[in-house]
C-alpha cells in the first residue's frame, strides 16, 4: 500500500507531496494533474520492472517531454519518493516464503537526462537511489498509528549510494545474509537497483518491488470486456478487462464448493443486483467443444443475455465487482473515472463497494488493499467522505525578476479545521470544498 508520494521535475509536478489513505479520490477538472499523478505511479511501477527507456516509452509523451517544462526551459532532473506499508509475510515467485521486520519503508529515486553538445538527449540515467525503514516516532499516517505494525528503524538502509558516490549498494537482508552489499555502477545506470530484487534473498526490497509492480490500473473498455476468451487468457483482470470471461471462469472453479457451485460468482451477482435489481445470476459458459469462455447475465424475468448485448454500464460495474470480490486482491488499484457509463443513481453504491474493499491488512490471510480514484464527477465527490477527497487544481507562477512563467499541479486534502497546522496550499476548509463541488458541478 502506498501511504505517501513525492514528485519533483516530472510533468506538471514541482516540490509536490501527497499523503494517501486506503481509499483516496483525486477530484478536479481536466488538465489539473489527475492523470499526471496516475502517470507518475505507473512510471514508478514500470521502473521497478524494466529499464528507464522502456518505462518511458509506455507513458504519454516522448521521454524528454516527461521532464517538467516551463517558459524558462525544461528540468534535467526528476526525483520521486514513496512511503509504503508492507504486509508482514509473503512468498516470492519461486515459492520461497519471507518475513518482514520493517513494514514501513521509504524509497527515493533521482533520474537525470543527459544531453550531447547539440543539446539533444542521449539518455536518462539513475543518479541516486535509496530505500530505508521509517521510524515509528516519525509515523504521520493517522490511520496507521493504532495498527500493530512492525517497525525496525535500527537496520541499515536496504539500498544506498556508496560513500564514493560511484555505485548503488544493495544490502543482502535475507536470513543468514551477512556478505558484502551488491554494488551496481552509477556511471550509466539505465535501470533501478530495485528492479533487480527478484527473489526473497532481499525480502524487504522484494516486497517493495511487489507493491510497485503489482499496482493495477483499471480502464474498462466495454467492447473488450464483451470478448470470449481462450483458456490461456489469464486469471488476473487486464487493464481493459478484455479477459473478463476467463477471469470469471477461473474464479468460479477456484472458489466453488458443494454448497456454492458458482463460488464467488454468486457474491458478484449479488453485489451487481444491489445496483441493478433485475439481475439474478451471473453465468459462465465453458464449452469444451470450442474451447472458449463466455459469460452472460440472467434477469428476474427469466431471460438470459450474453455479454454481447449487456449494456456498457453494466459491463463496467461487473468488471469492477469482479476485481473487488477476487479473494486474491491486494496492493493498489488505480481506477480512472469510475462514473463512466454508470447511471448517477448507482454512483453512491459503487463508491461504497470501493470503500468497503479498501483496508489495511489484519493478518497473513488478509493482505492490504488500496483504491485510488481519479474523477471529475460531482456525483462521485458527493458520495465521498471528507478524508477521502483530494482536490486537484493548478497554480500559475510568474517570476517578478523576469518573463518566466510556470504552471504546476496542486492537490489539497478534504476538510481540515483551521489551526496551527493548516496549510492553504495543502488543505481545504469545508466552505472551499463546497465551492469546488459546486463549481465543478456547474461545469460538468
Q: Where are the domains of the chain?
A: 2-214, 218-384
Kindly tell me if the per-residue pLDDT of 210 is higher than 90. Answer: yes
Q: Give pLDDT, residue 398.
A: 74
Strand partners, 369: 331, 359
Which one is predicted more confidently, 26 or 362?
26
Average pLDDT value for residue range 382-391: 91
Mean pLDDT of the chain: 89
Q: According to the model, what pLDDT value does residue 208 have?
A: 97
Does pLDDT of 443 surpass 50? no
SS3 319: helix
CB 134, CB 105: distance < 8 Å: yes
Share of the chain above pLDDT 70, in %: 94
Convert the pLDDT of each residue in 239-284 to its tens digit. 999 999 999 999 999 999 999 999 999 999 999 999 999 999 999 9
In tens, the pLDDT along 35-64 reads 999 999 999 999 999 999 999 999 988 888
pLDDT > 90 fraction of the chain, expressed in percent and rounded: 64
Q: Do the beta carbons of residue 263 and residue 269 sit within 8 Å?
A: no
Angle (CA) 92-160-185 rounded to 5° is 90
pLDDT score of 135 more than 70: yes
Q: Which is more confidently placed, 153 or 213?
A: 213
Task: Quickly list H helices, 214-331.
Answer: 222-225, 244-255, 265-275, 312-325
Query: Left (φ > 0), alpha (ψ -120 to 50) or beta: where does 13 sit?
Result: beta
3 state DSSP class of 144:
helix
CATH architecture of the domain with range 218-384: 3-Layer(aba) Sandwich (3.40)
Predicted pLDDT at 178: 62
Residue with cell 466495454: 222
pLDDT given at position 342: 86
In this prediction, residue 72 carries a pLDDT of 76
| β-bridge partners, 229 | 293
Residue 415 has pLDDT above 80, yes or no: no
Measured between alpha carbons, how far is 315 from 226 in angstroms, rounded to an integer?
8
- Please state the length of the chain: 444
| pLDDT over 90 at 417, yes or no | no
pLDDT of residue 401: 62
Whole-model pTM: value is 0.91
The predicted-structure confidence for 98-120, as pLDDT tens digits, reads as follows 999 999 999 999 999 998 887 78
Amino acid at each position: 500500500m502506498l501511504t505517501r508520494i513525492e514528485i519533483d521535475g516530472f510533468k506538471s509536478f514541482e516540490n509536490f507531496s501527497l499523503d494517501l489513505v486506503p481509499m483516496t479520490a483525486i477530484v478536479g477538472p481536466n488538465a489539473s494533474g489527475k492523470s499526471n499523478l496516475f502517470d507518475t505511479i505507473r512510471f514508478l511501477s514500470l521502473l521497478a520492472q524494466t529499464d528507464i527507456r522502456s518505462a518511458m516509452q509506455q507513458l504519454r509523451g516522448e521521454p524528454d517531454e516527461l521532464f517538467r517544462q516551463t517558459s524558462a526551459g525544461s528540468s534535467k532532473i526528476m526525483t520521486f519518493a514513496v512511503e509504503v506499508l508492507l504486509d508482514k509475510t509473503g512468498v516470492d515467485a519461486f515459492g520461497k516464503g519471507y518475513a518482514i521486520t520493517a513494514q514501513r519503508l521509504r524509497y527515493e529515486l533521482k533520474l537525470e537526462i543527459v544531453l550531447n553538445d547539440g543539446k539533444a538527449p542521449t539518455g536518462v540515467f539513475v543518479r541516486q537511489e535509496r530505500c530505508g525503514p521509517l521510524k515509528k516516532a516519525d509515523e504521520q499516517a493517522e490511520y496507521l498509528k493504532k495498527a500493530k505494525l512492525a517497525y525496525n528503524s535500527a537496520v541499515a538502509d536496504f539500498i544506498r549510494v556508496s560513500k564514493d558516490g560511484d555505485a548503488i549498494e544493495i544490502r543482502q537482508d535475507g536470513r543468514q545474509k551477512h556478505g558484502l552489499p551488491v554494488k551496481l555502477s552509477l556511471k550509466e545506470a539505465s535501470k533501478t537497483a530495485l528492479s533487480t530484487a527478484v527473489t526473497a534473498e532481499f525480502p524487504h526490497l522484494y516486497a517493495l518491488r511487489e507493491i510497485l509492480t503489482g499496482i493495477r490500473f483499471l480502464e474498462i473498455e466495454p467492447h473488450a470486456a464483451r470478448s470470449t476468451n481462450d483458456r490461456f487468457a489469464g486469471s488476473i483482470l487486464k487493464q481493459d478487462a478484455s479477459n473478463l470471461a476467463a477471469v470469471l471462469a477461473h474464479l468460479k472453479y477456484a472458489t466453488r464448493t458443494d454448497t456454492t457451485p458458482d463460488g464467488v460468482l454468486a457474491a458478484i451477482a449479488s453485489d451487481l443486483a444491489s445496483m441493478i435489481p433485475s439481475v439474478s445470476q451471473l453465468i459462465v459458459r465453458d464449452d469444451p467443444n470450442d474451447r472458449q469462455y463466455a459469460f452472460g447475465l440472467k434477469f428476474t424475468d427469466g431471460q438470459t443475455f450474453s455479454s454481447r448485448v449487456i449494456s456498457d454500464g453494466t459491463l463496467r460495474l461487473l468488471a469492477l465487482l469482479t476485481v473487488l470480490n477476487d479473494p486474491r486482491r491486494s496492493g493498489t488499484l488505480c481506477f480512472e473515472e469510475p462514473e463512466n457509463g454508470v447511471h448517477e443513481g448507482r454512483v453512491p453504491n459503487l463508491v461504497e463497494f470501493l470503500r468497503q474493499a479498501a483496508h489495511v491488512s489484519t493478518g497473513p490471510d488478509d493482505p492490504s488493499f488500496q483504491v485510488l480514484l481519479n474523477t471529475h464527477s460531482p456525483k462521485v465527490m458527493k458520495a465521498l467522505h471528507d478524508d477521502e477527497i483530494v482536490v486537484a487544481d493548478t497554480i500559475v507562477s510568474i517570476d517578478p525578476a523576469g518573463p518566466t512563467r510556470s504552471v504546476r499541479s496542486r492537490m489539497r486534502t478534504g476538510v481540515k479545521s483551521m489551526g496551527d497546522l493548516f496549510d492553504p496550499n495543502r488543505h481545504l476548509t469545508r466552505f472551499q470544498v463546497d465551492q469546488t463541488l459546486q463549481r465543478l458541478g456547474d461545469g460538468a
